[in-house]
Amino acid sequence: MSDHSAAPAETAPRPGSRQERAEARRAEARLPYTPSPDTRWGTPTALVTFVAIIALLVVVELARTFGVLSGEVGTMIMWIIFDGGILVALAIVCRTWGSGSWAKDFGLRFRWFDVFIGLGSAVGIQLIGGMIGQFVIALTGETPKSNIAPPSPELVWVLVNTVFVTAIVAPFCEEALFRGLLLRGFRNTILRGRTANGVRRGAATPSTARRRTAAIVSVGASALIFAIVHLYEGWGSPVTMVTLGLTILVLGTVNGVYAATTRRLGPGIWTHVWFNTFTVLLTLARSGS
């Protein structure tokens, strides 16, 4: 007598279900990264946009220097103008030369575990920054200064300008700029090669060597620019500039690796949020002691 029993057939995931979305993400992650056909921007667009944003930063810093934007209200307005300018510039790039999706063009996606990746990474980077600081002190005998302005004596401005702007808004905007726009701009251009269709000699996908070069150059270049831009925060103190520059270079490299390997800004944004949060807490603790 034959056995007609059989293992139950595997059911396909329901369309639109969490399982289907998870399988789609895993399938996408297995594919080599190539620029989306809808994303028509690369290094030139990224650099022009970046220069315009830096010009805006220079303008608002000059306005603060000459007293046009003074006090805590002026500081708040300065950050609204600068961070708002970043978001507007990225929106223009996304709508004009991109797909219209920040997730597709810049990798603005999050997973629930990004917060924990960021926490562990930020702790490690803070420890590395501390070791860099101790090495600089031993070498020069001078102590680096904090790159965060002394907090206001009024709680509301501490929460707005020191906590909210520095620990939440700035990390989001800076990661979107440096890892979303610049890193992907460099990477897209290298992967596309010189032809209008995006791949040299009609190849279906960029070679492994080209993909490796694109990842290394884009991560390194965006991290270096990220560090250089932050040097003005330690202006007038060479030891502060060295310590700050090297620490920010580590932060930018780590976040660049996350952006390149996961194709998402989520881990880098959370790393930046936690890193700045720890820095703010240390600043507040020192000011209260």
What pLDDT does 194 receive? 53
Residue % of the chain over a pLDDT of 90: 61
Q: How many CB atoms lie within 10 A of CB 232?
A: 14
Q: How many CB atoms lie within 10 A of CB 121?
A: 22
Q: Where do the DSSP E strands lie in 186-237?
A: none
DSSP symbol at 146: P
Better-scored residue on pLDDT, 5 or 234: 234
Lookup: tokens for 188: 């897209």
Provide the 3-class DSSP secondary structure of residue 112: coil
Better-scored residue on pLDDT, 142 or 28: 142
Examine the pLDDT at 119 and tell me if it is beyond 60: yes
DSSP symbol at 198: S
Q: Is 32 exposed, middle or buried (0-12, 13-18, 19+ CB in 10 A)?
A: exposed
Q: Which of 134-138, 161-165, 285-289 has the lowest mean pLDDT?
A: 285-289
Question: How long a stretch of residues is the chain?
Answer: 289
**For residue range 157-168, what is the model confidence (pLDDT) as tens digits?**
889 988 999 999
What pLDDT does 123 receive? 98
Q: Whole-model pTM?
A: 0.85
Secondary element (H or E) of residue 86: helix 71-97
Residues 6+ positions from 11 with CB-CB distance below 8 Å: none
Q: How many CB atoms lie within 10 A of CB 49?
A: 21
Examine the pLDDT at 40 and tell me if it is beyond 50: yes
